């Protein structure tokens, strides 16, 4: 098999990169180890930054987003048993949109399949060879168990934190920065209307809680739990009782309902430098992980794909290597900004496992300052809705 860009991973980064390159007339093949059904259904993040929404519209993916997405113009920081609204749009002129990652993925899969471009699901034994050469290869077995080799001009590793792309870097060519947090998120998806019209980030003596939503009928909620917690220790009634305590303010009624999905998510920060080795480029979770508190993961992945597509168009046409040569530095500049914001939100809103009273007072001081200072509230708002980036697309390659 032969293609210009071999893309490993059918998540937001890989599928958006494939979509943008297809619009530019560049041949791509997407490889994904999971089944088509699994990829379309797996529940992940749900907050789109302002620029992400603009990009999706600009590249023909705004139809269902505009019909079903839920624009939000503020969020609540809940502490001291009171709501403190951060007016995102009033402070920044921009908004967020709640639209689940799986919905973005569905739209991208549908667009690619409509265009007749290949996504190879259920592949196994994926490996990248000769990434420093002019013709890197990806070997794999397809859904029928047939061994195959895909020869590429460039390989894009968009296969997530546990993918194989990073392992193709020589050990001395890669540096990884990481921080593991001493807690996890217990998340549920429930069939019940949201209890509040905006997202609630709650800080309480018992730990962090988040109230979010996926639609007018489906609510997404999270609890901070110990890092070694077991899902079996949390029956549905216990989850609802704990959410009610952590989210409690006067006049607030938490709506409960049937739990459709339940899971534990570890909380970590990871950055891999550089994001390029030869003709192997990393994007999305393959290169960086952020704590979910800042709602940055999917947005970073889509921004990576945009930047990488811009760089590959002149590179593959033989016009220039400049944008590709600068890809890693450009993206890491933005990645570390997002890492800092996500770390800051996480540190401010989560109780330490040892219940340190000094840290508790510091967190309350930061929360009170954030909601009482126009400058501090604006800083939170502009980072949450997403710092602006250039959405222009080169030439007629991006109609």
Token code pair at residue 47: 């907050």
Closest CA to 302 of 65, 37, 34: 65
Residue that is written with structure tokens 């009634």 in the block: 237
Pairing of strands 280-282, 154-157: parallel
Structure tokens at 167: 């392992």
Contact 155, 279 (CB under 8 A): yes
Residue 254: other Cβ atoms inside 10 A: 19
Alpha-carbon distances, residue 262 vs 102, 162, 184, 234, 236 (angstroms) = 16, 21, 13, 9, 9
250 contacts 81 by C-beta, under 8 angstroms: yes
Q: Which of 181, 222, 327, 384 is catalytic?
A: 384
- Name the catalytic one among 50, 131, 136, 201: 201
H or E element that contains 385? helix 374-385
Would you call 292 a catalytic residue per the annotation?
Answer: yes
Alpha-carbon distance of 266 to 239, in angstroms, equals 18
- 399 part of the active site: no
Q: Write down the catalytic residue from 50, 292, 327, 350.
A: 292
Residue (of 254, 199, 285) closest to 10 by Cα position: 285
Question: What ranges make up the beta strands (E) of the chain?
Answer: 5-8, 28-31, 47-48, 70-72, 75-79, 82-86, 96-98, 119-120, 124-129, 137-141, 147-151, 154-157, 175-191, 199-204, 207-213, 218-226, 259-273, 276-277, 280-282, 288-289
Q: Which of 72, 196, 211, 350 is flagged as catalytic?
A: 72
Compute the distance between CA of residue 27 and CA of residue 310 in angstroms, rounded to an integer.
Answer: 15
**Is 360 tagged catalytic?**
no
Rounded Cα gap, residues 356 and 359, in angstroms:
5
Map tokens 């430098």 to a residue: 273
Which residues have a Cβ under 8 Å from the Cβ of 276 and sit 6 or more positions away?
A: 282, 324, 327, 328
Q: What is the C-alpha separation between 288 and 267, in angstroms, rounded?
A: 13
Active site residues: 72, 201, 292, 296, 384
């Amino acid at each position: 098999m032969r293609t210009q860009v071999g893309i490993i991973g059918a998540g937001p980064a890989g599928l958006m990169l494939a979509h943008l390159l297809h619009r530019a007339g560049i041949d791509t093949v997407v490889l994904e180890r999971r089944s088509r059904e699994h990829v379309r259904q797996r529940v992940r993040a749900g907050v789109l930054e302002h620029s992400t929404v603009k990009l999706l519209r600009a590249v023909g993916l705004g139809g269902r987003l505009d019909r079903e997405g839920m624009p939000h113009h503020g969020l609540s920081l809940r502490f001291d048993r009171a709501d403190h609204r951060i007016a995102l749009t009033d402070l920044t002129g921009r908004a967020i949109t709640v639209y689940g990652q799986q919905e973005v993925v569905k739209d991208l899969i549908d667009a690619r399949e409509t265009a007749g471009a290949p996504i190879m699901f259920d592949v196994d034994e994926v490996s990248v060879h000769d990434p420093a050469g002019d013709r890197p290869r990806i070997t794999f077995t397809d859904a029928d168990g047939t061994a195959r080799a895909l020869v590429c001009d460039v390989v894009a590793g968009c296969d997530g934190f546990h993918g194989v792309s990073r392992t193709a870097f020589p050990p001395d060519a890669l540096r990884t920065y990481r921080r593991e947090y001493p807690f996890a998120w217990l998340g549920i998806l429930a069939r019940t209307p949201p209890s509040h019209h905006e997202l609630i980030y709650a800080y309480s003596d018992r730990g962090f809680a988040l109230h979010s939503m996926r639609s007018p009928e489906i609510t997404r909620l999270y609890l901070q739990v110990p890092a070694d917690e077991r899902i079996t220790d949390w029956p549905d009634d216990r989850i609802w009782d704990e959410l009610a305590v952590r989210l409690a303010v006067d006049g607030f009624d938490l709506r409960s309902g049937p739990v459709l999905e339940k899971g534990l998510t570890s909380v970590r920060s990871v950055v891999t430098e550089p994001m390029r080795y030869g003709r192997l480029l990393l994007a999305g979770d393959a290169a960086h992980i952020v704590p979910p508190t800042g709602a940055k993961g999917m947005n970073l992945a889509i921004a990576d794909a945009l930047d990488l597509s811009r760089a590959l168009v002149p590179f593959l046409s033989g016009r220039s290597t400049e944008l590709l040569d600068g890809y890693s530095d450009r993206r890491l500049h933005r990645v570390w900004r997002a890492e800092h914001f996500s770390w800051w939100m996480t540190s401010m809103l989560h109780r330490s496992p040892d219940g340190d009273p000094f840290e508790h007072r510091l967190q309350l001081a930061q929360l009170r300052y954030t909601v009482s200072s126009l400058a501090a509230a604006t800083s939170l708002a502009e980072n949450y809705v997403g710092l602006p980036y250039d959405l222009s697309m080169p030439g007629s390659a991006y109609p």
